[in-house]
Every structure is written in structure tokens, then in C-alpha cells.
Amino acid sequence: MRLGRFIAWLVVGVVALFYVVPMIAMTRFAFQRIPVIKLSLGNVFDKWTVAPLFESFTESEFRSSATLSLMLAVATALLTLVLLVPTMAIAHLRSPRMRRLIELSATLPFVVPAIALVVGFAGTFRETLPILIRSSFGLVPLYVVTALPFTHRTIENGLAALDLRTLVNASRSLGASWTRTMIFVIAPNIRASIATASFLAFTVVLGEFTIASLLLKNTLPLYLAYAQGRNPQGAFAVGIVLIIVSTIFVALSNRLGKVVRA
């Protein structure tokens, strides 16, 4: 399989290059105070500064918005899993029709514009449950909806790859209840999907802008967007750091939850 491995490395190498080049350009822009047109071999190492990072990280607005976004991300991931995994597992087992309906419903959030979501949301809850609009955590259900296309697809693929019926039958015939089956049999077998879905929910929340801006909540993406206008080099510096940190975080979490293949 030597050819196979060589091709695999080639693919990974080219794609990695594609991923990395724009990031390098952005990093250089963020940390070096020389316009490209004036760059030459002579001054390649001049005027680098890490000041923008420190300015940004010490701003209290950054910390409060980052904390809020992190909490929202965790809540969104949790709610997504609780809502999707049991529902989809049962759909896979019992009702192909529901499965298709869920697929359809999970792709729709792409095309319902954020502003419609917000206006509908605010209109519905303004009189009945204003706390949902007042509290920043009112964003969570909207974020679950926004992340739905991604999270659904990952879990769907994971479930489809299993022989779900056999697994569940085996578990049930051994006397396990539905809940136990769900938690101890199904979930571990779609560990990769659950992990990926959580990460996608996470990154969706850390990148979502329109809904938060319309409801005037101070999330991290809003802070970054504003910082980009006020101080682009600083904002991109923070952005790059966030990208690196998120990547490492996901990579490490993956390692911890990795399914050991026999």
C-alpha cells in the first residue's frame, strides 16, 4: 500500500498548505507594522510587535464577552446532544419517515435568515416569557437551531454507520432499559460523532454574529467584529490566537475520547 500512503501524505500536505498560507499572511499582518509594498529582505524582521495581543486580552470587555460565549457554547452543545441523539436514534430504529423529516427540518436553519429567527423569537416571547429575551441564555435555543444542520449531519452519519438494530436488540435482550441502552450502548458507539457535533456546536457559537447583534448581547464574535473595525491588527492577532487555541483544544479532546480500534 505504499502508493496509497504516498498519495495520502500528498493530499494532506497540499490541503495543509492551503489551510496555512492565508493564516500566515493574516498573522504577519497582525504582528508586523510594515505594508507589504515596503517589505524587502532587509526589513523582514523589523517592526514586529506583540502589543496588540496584550491590549486586547487585558480589555475587560474581551474577558466578559469571551466568558459569555464559552458558557453559551457549552450550553448549546449540551442541549443539542440531549435533543438530537435520543430522537435520531429512535428515528433510525423505528421510523424512516421521521428520519427523513428530521433531515429536512435540520437543513432548514440554513435558509431561514437570522433576522427572521430573531424577529419571530422576540415576537413570540415578548409578552409571554420576556426573560428569554432579557437573559443572554435565551440565545441558546436559537444557537442550537443555527448549529442544527452541522450537528445533525454528523450524528446522522455516525448512526447510519452502525448496525443499530443489532446493537439495541442485543442490549434489550440482556435486560437493559431504554435509557441504559442509550447511554451505555448507543452513545459510546457514536463517540466520534458526538465529539464532532459538540465541537461544531462550539465553533458555531463562537462564530455566530447576526443573532447576538440583533438582540444586543455582548458575545465574543461581536467584540471581535467591533475590534476589527477599531483595531484590525489587534483583532486579527486575537483571532489567530483563538484559532490556534481552538484547534489544540479540539485535538486534545479528540485524543482523550478516542475510540481504540481493536
Partner 1 sequence: MASSLGQRTRHLAFLPYAVFLFIFLIWPGLYVFRQALNQSAGERNPMIEAVTGQYRSSFIFSLQLSFISSAIGLVIGSAVAIAIMQLADVRGLRNILVGYSSVAANMGGIPLAFAFLAAFGMQGLATRLLKEINIDIIGWGFKISDFWGIVLVYLYFQIPLMTLVLVPALDGLRRTWAEAAQSLGATVSQYWRFIALPILTPAILGGFLLLVANAFAAYATAYALSSGGSKLVPVQIRFFLQGETITGKSNLGYALAAWMVIITAMLVAGFQVMTRRAERWRQ
Partner 2 sequence: MTKQHITSNKNIGFGSRFRSLAALALVGALALSACGSDDEATDDTVAEEVTTDVASDVCPSQEIVDAAVAEAKVNLIALPDNWANYKGILASFREKHPEIENPVANPDASSADELVAVETLAGQETQPDALDVSPAIAQEVDSKDLWEPYKPCTWDEIPDFLKDADGKWVAAYYGIMAIGTNTTVVKTAPESFADLAKPEYKGLVSLNGDPREAGSAFNAVVAASLANGGSFDDIMPGIQYFADLKASGNLAGTDVTEASVIAGETPIWLDWTYNYPGLAPKLVENGITWAIRVPTDGVHGGYYAQGVVKGGPNNNAAKLWIEHIVSDEGALGYLEGGAIPARFEALVAAGKVSEEAKANLPAPELIAQIKFPTQDQIAKMKEALATNWGPMVADK
Binding site for partner 2 (CB under 8 A): 29, 33-38, 47, 115, 118-119, 122, 126, 130, 133-134, 209-210, 213-216, 218, 222, 225-226, 228-233, 236
Q: Are 139 and 75 in contact (CB under 8 A)?
A: no
Confirm or reject binding of residue 113 to partner 1 (CB under 8 A). Answer: yes
Interacting residues of 112 by C-beta distance below 8 A, sequence separation 6+: none
Q: Are 76 and 201 in contact (CB under 8 A)?
A: yes
Residue count, binding to partner 1 (CB under 8 A): 105
Angle value at C-alpha 194, between 143 and 148, nearest 5 degrees:
30
Confirm or reject binding of residue 119 to partner 1 (CB under 8 A). Answer: yes
Which of positions 145-164 make contact with partner 1 (CB under 8 A)? Answer: 145, 148-150, 153-154, 156-158, 160-162
Q: Are 89 and 165 in contact (CB under 8 A)?
A: no
Residue 47 or 261 having the CB closest to partner 2: 47
Residue that the C-alpha cell 485524543 belongs to = 255
Q: Which of 55, 61, 136, 141 binds partner 1 (CB under 8 A)?
A: 141
Report the partner that residue 231 touches, choosing among partner 2, partner 1, none (CB closer than 5 to 8 A by kind). Answer: partner 2
Report the partner that residue 219 touches, choosing among partner 1, partner 2, none (CB closer than 5 to 8 A by kind). Answer: none
Q: Give min distance, CB of 58 to partner 1, in A.
A: 21
Amino acid, res. 81: L
Q: Which long-range contacts (CB under 8 A, 24 or more apart) does 52-55 make?
A: 52/231, 52/233, 52/234, 52/237, 52/238, 53/234, 53/237, 53/238, 53/241, 55/231, 55/234
Q: Give min distance, CB of 232 to partner 2, in A.
A: 4
Which of positions 39-98 make contact with partner 1 (CB under 8 A)? Answer: 39, 83-84, 86-87, 90-91, 94-95, 98
Report the partner that residue 28 touches, choosing among partner 1, partner 2, none (CB closer than 5 to 8 A by kind). Answer: partner 1
Residue that the C-alpha cell 484547534 belongs to = 247
Confirm or reject binding of residue 15 to partner 1 (CB under 8 A). Answer: yes
Q: Give min distance, CB of 54 to partner 1, in A.
A: 20
Q: Give min distance, CB of 180 to partner 1, in A.
A: 13
Q: Are 226 and 213 in contact (CB under 8 A)?
A: no
